[in-house]
Amino acid sequence: MLAIVGLVHVIPGVIALAPSRAATAYGTSIPDRDFELLLRHRAVLLGTVGIGLLVCAFMPAARPVTIAAGIISTASFLALTAVIGPSQLNSRTLRVARVDVIALVALIAATCLLAVGG
């Protein structure tokens, strides 16, 4: 479960290397270099969380902090989606939000399983 959620976070990291992919992923254009910088930085942060989740799938000592980072990452995107309002967002961004709902549920389930099973 952690590895799958890790991949969900790593995949958007491609935007750090290929910002033109943002249009495909989020259904938006990059109007200027400032916006490109922000998107690329977001991609690096998502990729970092994703790599951490992939690592912690196999290294139990890294799990508490890394799972917390994954929960914060996904929950914050969903909270911001709610604040902005889904009706203000395009279908591709809403698809990202739906994937984040699944990722958040998986991270919470992983946390519960680890708490019960050790």
Buried b / exposed e across 39-59, counting CB within 10 Å, b at 16+? bbebbebbbebbebbbebbee
Q: Which of 55, 66, 60 is nearest to 117 (CA)?
A: 60
Amino acid in position 88: Q
User: How do the domains of the chain map onto residue ranges?
Assistant: 2-117
Q: What pLDDT tens digit does each residue of the chain (118 aa) get? A: 999 999 999 988 888 888 888 777 788 888 899 988 988 898 999 999 999 999 999 999 999 999 999 999 999 999 999 999 999 999 999 999 999 999 999 999 999 999 998 6
- Name residue, tokens 């709902």: 101
The pLDDT tens digits for 13-32 are 888 888 888 777 788 888 89
